[in-house]
Structure 1
Amino acid sequence: MAIWDFVKDAGKAVFGKAEAAPAPSTPSADAAAPKADPDAETQRKVAALKAELQSLNLDAGDVHLRLRGDTVVVESRGADREVLEKLILAVGNIQGIAKVEADLPDDAPPPVFHTVTKGETLSAIAKEHLGSATQYNAIFEANRPMLSDPDKIYPGQVLRIPAKA
């Protein structure tokens, strides 16, 4: 499995806040306070990730996600390479996720991903990777449905760079 790094503190917030237990009123109540179930919290976060994939129409029902701390393992038997790359980016660009593990077919070169820095535009990224600023739309299209507008990228976001035409 390959591992891709993401900016943990950047991205869409989908996890929300877990239900907070009521604050204990006395020191003796602290011992009786219910402990948070880490498995329930992990399941809640995985459900939020799956809901995000479904909202982007990237989950045809064959996507399996496992969460280990701030790392997501993505498995999908039916997805082609383009969809797998989009799955990696869709879950990696979630606030709180630092790494994504996934298996991509061995018969192709590794994907080219670019982490947006402050002040960058799709045009500048296109010029750097594709040789022409006018190719910004190719990057925009390669990152649909995660991008809805070519002007709405943010520092820390990781984008898919398509192969040169």
Structure 2
Amino acid sequence: MGLFSFIKNAGEKLFGKDEKEIAQAAQANAADLNAKAAVAIKDYIEKQNLGLTNLAVAFDGSTGKVILGGNAPTQEASEKATLAAGNVTGVSDVDNQLAVAQSNAAAQYHDVVSGDTLSAISKKYYGDANKYMKIFEANKPMLSDPNKIYPGQKLRIPPL
């Protein structure tokens, strides 16, 4: 699927520390922290119940890059795995190397900015603000409420 960029300071706080603490600790014990971060990201992706098999996650704290490997049943599941990994604080890039069993048209992506709503995003991409639930559904289970999006988050915009 390729390499996707994310905003490093936005997202789920899986590591329980701010970026400065992570960077300082990373200098002291990079390999151990990278392994622990990879496990946390893998657990987070698996909690999304995307149907992935043989999921492998590697993380490099010095660059903020995650590499995903394994198998995804659909293009949608692969894209959601990318978003789940990328929308984690401390992650700046995701290299998705998941093999996709059933490939469909790829989705577009939108970086949420201050003031965005799913309705406004829907109007921008679909020309109809009332189609916001399509975007919400396309980003489940990472989104639990259509009113809870935040600046820096990356969303899937599926084709109509």
- Say whether the fold is shared (TM-score over 0.5): yes
Higher strand share: 2
Distance in structure 1 (CA, Å) of the matches to 2:66 and 2:32: 16
Contact 2:135 2:157 in 1 (8 A): yes
Distance in structure 1 (CA, Å) of the matches to 2:16 and 2:132: 33
How high is the sequence identity, in percent, across the aligned residues?
39
Runs of 5+ consecutive residues of structure 1 not aligned to the other structure? 21-34
The residue correspondences of 1:136-151 to structure 2 (distance < 5 A) are 136-151=132-147
Please state if 1:64 is matched with 2:60: no
Task: Provide the aligned length of Structure 1 versus Structure 2.
Answer: 148
Residue matched to 2:24: none
TM superposition outliers: structure 1 runs of 4+ over 6 Å: none
Contact 2:74 2:104 in 1 (8 A): no
Larger Rg belongs to: 1
Distance in structure 2 (CA, Å) of the matches to 1:83 and 1:60: 7
Distance in structure 2 (CA, Å) of the matches to 1:109 and 1:55: 25
Please state if 1:135 is matched with 2:127: no
Contact 2:67 2:97 in 1 (8 A): no
Please state if 1:152 is matched with 2:144: no
Runs of 5+ consecutive residues of structure 2 not aligned to the other structure? 22-26
- Code of the residue aligned with 2:121 in structure 1: it is I
TM-score by length of 2: 0.83
Q: In the superposition, relative to structure 1, how do residues 87 and 78 fare at CA in structure 2: closer, same or farther (>3 Å)?
A: closer
Residue matched to 2:4: 4
- Code of the residue aligned with 2:2 in structure 1: it is A
Deviation at 1:119, TM superposition (A): 0.4
Contact 2:35 2:58 in 1 (8 A): no
Contact 1:8 1:96 in 2 (8 A): yes
Please state if 1:94 is matched with 2:94: no
Distance in structure 1 (CA, Å) of the matches to 2:37 and 2:86: 13
Residue matched to 2:79: 85
Please state if 1:13 is matched with 2:7: no
Deviation at 1:39, TM superposition (A): 1.2
Deviation track 1:93-120 (CA, whole Å, cap 9, x = no partner) reads: 0000000111476x75543110000000
Deviation at 1:58, TM superposition (A): 3.2
Deviation track 1:126-165 (CA, whole Å, cap 9, x = no partner) reads: 010111000000000000000000000000000000111x
Contact 2:114 2:151 in 1 (8 A): yes
TM-score by length of 1: 0.81
Contact 1:62 1:78 in 2 (8 A): no
SS at match of 1:7: coil
